[in-house]
Amino acid sequence: MARMLARTMAPNLILFNGMITTFVDALPECTAIACQDGRVLAIGDDADIRALAGPNTQLIDLAGRRVIPGFNDAHNHLLQVGIKFSRLEVEACTSIAQMVEMVRERANSTAPGEWIIGEGWNESLFAEGRLPNRHDLDAATTRHPVMLQRFFNMDVVNSLALELGGVTDDMPDPLGGKIEREADGRTPSGILRAAAKLFCRQLMPTPTEAQCVTAIELAGKAYQKVGITSVLEPGLYPYELRAYLRARRLGKLPVRVNLMPSWHGFREEENQAELEDRAANLGVFSGLGDEWLSLGALKMAVDGGTTSHTAWMFQPFVGEEKVHDYNRLDPEDLREFFARGHELGWDIGIHAIGDRAHHESALAYADILEAAAAAGSDIRSPGDHRHNLIHAYFATEESLQKMAKHGIAAVIQPTFIYYEGDDLFRDVGAELAQRYKPMRTYLDRGIRVAATSDIPSTVHYNPFIGLYSLVTRKTWKGTIIGAQEAVTRSEALYAYTVAGAWLTREEQFKGPLAPGFLADIAVLDRDYFAVADEQIKDIVVDLTIIGGEVVYSR
């Protein structure tokens, strides 16, 4: 059998007797792989690869197991996940009562007056069939301010937290946000949507650098257990960027990370001058760094989300009479911001969920790319950008055409299909729900797709949940959403492992298990390509290898 060899030195690690998916055109599957100095040295059959072994080579018999490239979760809030580990993890709660009991237990061991914070609840899982409110949380404690953050763009707080945040009956809704009211139309219910979250969230202390480093290490080690070897961390503020550099220097960075500085569309207190300075005066742009820690695109955001009813839509959400303005920046500024970032040499990724947010963002990208080409002012070669639409829920025909023509990628989160897909019918209606996260359409149009988790804006980071949903288009309840958008197992796996390297300008050395590429590998407990569809989500990682070193063994 053919063997592909990068250089001639004894490898430090050889895996053999397996089924290895390489995503190398010349040899898409083999039985053995050799690693040396953090890279793949050779791939081929057992006899050829084992013949390369030296006296110090570690040999691992795969016993027929499936091997894949390590997962590259190219939209993953790793640091926030690590912080979440120290808070109440309520994502698995299937009732409001269960969530309230967790608050009550935490209150018993927390000094009065200290905040109790939880993250990850999802009302679609609740047996009560409704949103939680301040009265629910007041039943757990009135001596502590409580904030339980939904998986995305909505918080529920208790009465004490509302008082501390200055949220009163007479307070108007903030621009881009909503204070939900009780039946009287005046009294805050405890639900704060979009920008209204800041009334209470601004009371939270900023984590220290040491706490951030600990969070990075904790989350990274958890990711190793599910085969994640790289992440793209979006929307970071300067203190968080610094924490990542500190973690790297202290040897506490368990996975490879590409960093996306936050830009327009996030903290309301950041003014345009500060954001301009962040992009223009660092003296660097996308691409700086090394194999472990690098600087990526600028992160922008235009709207909110569907299940929180804060996305920018062409038509109102079901049951609403108008399209509300929850946008996180003025859409009139999109072209100005895109043009400035592009001119400075940055790649740009923008959070765009609603169908109108997707449409307007894609057209704005196309306009600035066409203008730069016409003016001959681009500092890069033609087409050399990594601009992308993040989330990319509902594409219009015109936005698809613009994305395909100008090489604009889609960064999607199939975990959302699984965990919140059933609520789409409630929120946007059946017709639009069937067009949700149209991966088959994107691929058929020649549009690059990277599949990611966006944890903690979803319930779990497990990539196999995402793979299951891309292949079956099923929710956790078994509902099929947009069956016509299903993809093959190979296409789904490529999107979760190889595709993300293009976003971070690493496609020349990261992704496929090719000679000379990073030796980032996951060994599975069963064959992803052979198990029944329903078993995909249950696959477990036996070994995770980063840079040719075993970092996790089950």
Using alpha carbons, select from 324, 305, 302 the residue that is nearest to residue 427.
305
Running DSSP on this structure, what letter comes out for residue 46?
Answer: H
Give me the pLDDT at residue 5, please.
54
- Take residue 113 and report the two structure tokens written for it: 């007056």
Residue 485 reports pLDDT greater than 80: yes
Residue 50 reports pLDDT greater than 80: yes
- Going by pLDDT thresholds of 50, 70 and 90, the confidence category of residue 32 is very high
Q: How far is CA 335 from the centre of its chain?
A: 25
Of the listed ranges 10-24, 125-139, 259-273, 359-373, the one predicted with least confidence: 259-273
Q: What is the DSSP string of 131-181?
A: ---HHHHHTT-SSS-EEEEESSSEEEE-HHHHHHTT--TTPPPPTTEEEEE
In the 3-class helix/strand/coil scheme, how is 340-392 assigned residue by residue? Answer: HHHHCCCCEEEEECCHHHHHHHHHHHHHHHHHHHHHCCCCCCCCCCCCEEEEC
Predicted TM-score (pTM) of this structure: 0.89
CB-CB contact of 438 with 485 (8 Å)? yes
Q: What is the DSSP string of 415-444?
A: HHHHHHTTHHHHHH-HHHHTTSS-HHHHHH
What average pLDDT does this structure show over 447-467?
94
Q: 335-354, pLDDT tens digit by residue?
A: 999 999 999 999 999 999 99
How many Å apart are CA 514 and CA 44, to the nearest integer? 11
- Which residue, chain included where needed, has tokens 């949507």? 193
Tell me the one-letter amino acid at 418.
Y
CB-CB contact of 258 with 294 (8 Å)? yes
The three-state secondary structure class of 8 is coil
Give me the pLDDT at residue 415, please.
94
Residue 445 reports pLDDT greater than 70: yes
Burial label, 104 (beta-carbon count in 10 A; 0-12, 13-18, 19+): middle
Using alpha carbons, select from 17, 36, 20 the residue that is nearest to residue 548.
36
The three-state secondary structure class of 268 is coil
Cis link prior to 456 (omega < 30° from 0)? yes
Instruction: Using only the alpha carbons of the chain, give its radius of gyration.
Output: 24
E strand or H helix at 334: helix 334-343
- Which residue, chain included where needed, has tokens 């569907």? 306
What average pLDDT does this structure show over 154-164?
96
Tell me the one-letter amino acid at 14.
I
Residue 91 reports pLDDT greater than 90: no
Q: Which residues of 276-293 are buried (b: 16+ CB within 10 A; e: fewer)?
A: eebbeeeeebbbebeeeb
CB-CB contact of 300 with 347 (8 Å)? no
Residue 330: phi, psi to the nearest 5? Answer: -75, 115
Give me the pLDDT at residue 274, please.
81
Give me the pLDDT at residue 1, please.
44
Residue 382 reports pLDDT greater than 80: no
Residue 262 reports pLDDT greater than 60: yes
- Take residue 177 and report the two structure tokens written for it: 């946000």
E strand or H helix at 41: strand 39-44
What average pLDDT does this structure show over 522-550?
98
Greater model confidence, 175 or 171: 171
Residue 30 reports pLDDT greater than 70: yes
CA distances from 61 to 14, 46, 50, 90, 523 (A): 9, 10, 11, 40, 11
Residues 6+ away with beta carbon under 8 Å from 120: 84, 89, 90, 91, 149, 150, 151, 456, 459
Residues 6+ away with beta carbon under 8 Å from 246: 209, 212, 213
CB-CB contact of 216 with 259 (8 Å)? no
Residues 6+ away with beta carbon under 8 Å from 464: 226, 536, 537, 538, 539
Residue 299 reports pLDDT greater than 90: yes
- Take residue 298 and report the two structure tokens written for it: 């600028």
Give me the pLDDT at residue 308, please.
82
How many Å apart are CA 543 and CA 554, to the nearest integer? 6
Q: Which residues of 130-150 are buried (b: 16+ CB within 10 A; e: fewer)?
A: ebbbbebbeebbeebbbbbbb
Share of the chain above pLDDT 70, in %: 98
E strand or H helix at 257: strand 256-261
Give me the pLDDT at residue 267, please.
56
- Which residue, chain included where needed, has tokens 């912080």? 83
Residue 452 reports pLDDT greater than 70: yes
Give me the pLDDT at residue 8, please.
56
